[in-house]
Amino acid sequence: MILRLFRATVRPGAEAAMLRRLRTDAMPEISTFEGMRAFTSGFRHDAGRTEHLALSTWTDLAAIETRAGSLERSVVSTRLDDIIENAHVDHYELVAPQDEAVVTLDGPVVGVVRALVAPDADASVIETVRRSRAELERAGVLALHVGRRVHGHQTELAILAVWRDRASLHRFARQRDGALIRPAFLEQTTSWSFETYDCLSPDRLMIPAAGPAVLLADDEGRYVDASPGVEAVLGVPGELFLRRSVAELTAPSLRDRVGTAWATFLGERRQSGVYDLRLPDGREVRVHFRAAADVPEPGLHASVLSRPEDPPDDRAIEDLVAMAFAAPARAVAGTNVEGLVSVSSP
C-alpha cells in the first residue's frame, strides 16, 4: 500500500474558501475514487501561515496514476491553485507496523515525524517504532503507521501517529519531560522533523457538527483544542484556531487589553461576557463566552462560546466541556471512503 502526502500553504485569508471547496467539491469527488483506502485533511498554523496536508492511502501507485495522470498532479479536479501555493507531493510504501493492514487517518490530531535513517539502521529503527506502540496507545494514539522510501542513498521514514485529541498529546509530552521522541529513535537518524496537523476527516468535512462550542487554551493563551461545535457558532471549524494565540484572534480594537485581561482571568479563574473575535479570514464575529481556568485539567482553560442572540445555557462549564469532547474515540482499522463512514476494527 502507498501513503500519499500532499502539502501546501494556504494563502492568507483563504482558509474559509479552502474548507468550502473541500466540503462542497473535493469530498464528493474523492468518495468515487477507486484504489483509495483512506483519506483525511489536516491544517496547522505556524509563523503566521496556514499549512494544509492531505493524507491518503492507495492500493498501489498505478491507482494514483490512473486517477491523476501523474504522481505529481492533484487527484481532484477541484481548483485550488488560486488559494494555495508551494504545493508538494510525497509517496511512501507503507510498512509494518500497520493497523489491521488498512491505514486510518481519522483522528483529531495527526503527528507526523519525518526522518532520514542512519546507514544500516533501517530494521532497528522500525523495531524501535514497533516497541513504542503499546506506550503510545495507552497515551491516546488511535493508530500508528510507518511509510518508507529511498531518498538518495538513505531511507526516509514518515511516521504518522493519530491522536485521540491534542490534550492527550500534550499530556504525553509533559510526562516524558519534554522528550516527546525517544533518544533511542533519534540516535538512529541523521535528521528529523516533527509537525502536528489538526484533522478534518471525511465525516467532519461533510457535515458540520453540533454540540457545545468550546475552545481550550494553555497557560500562555494559545489555543490547543477545539470542539466540533465551534463551527456552528463561528462559521469555520475550530481547527483553524489551534496554535494561534488569544491575542491573534482578538479583534484589533481590543488587542491592547488582551494581556491584562488574560492575567486577570487566570487570577480570578472565571470570566464571562461578550467578546469580538477576528476569524482567520479577517472577518470579525461577536460571541458570548463563559470561561473557566484549569478545566478540563490543570494547565488547560476552557471558553464556552455562543452567539449573543442564543438563549443562555446555565449548565456548569465543566459539564459543557465534558459534553463537547465526549465523542467516543474511534479505534478504527480503516475508513470506508466510498461511504465516508468510519468502520470499527473487530
Q: Write a three-state SS string for 79-133.
A: CCCCCEEEEEEEEEEEECCCCCCCCCCCCCEEEEEEEEECCCCHHHHHHHHHHHH
CATH code, 2-203+328-344: 3.30.70.100
Model pLDDT, residue 87 = 92
pTM above 0.75, yes or no: no
The closest of 292, 297, 53 to 168, measured between CA atoms, is 297
Model pLDDT, residue 215 = 93
Q: Hey, what's the cell of 280?
A: 482567520
The closest of 331, 334, 330, 346 to 1, measured between CA atoms, is 334
Model pLDDT, residue 333 = 36
Ranges in the chain, pLDDT < 70: 47, 96-103, 176-180, 204, 206-209, 327-346
Model pLDDT, residue 99 = 53
CATH code, 209-324: 3.30.450.20
Report the alpha-carbon distance of residue 302 to residue 121 in Å, rounded: 44
Model pLDDT, residue 86 = 92
Model pLDDT, residue 179 = 60
**Residues 249, 277 contacting (CB under 8 angstroms):** yes
Domain ranges of the chain: 2-203+328-344, 209-324
Model pLDDT, residue 3 = 92
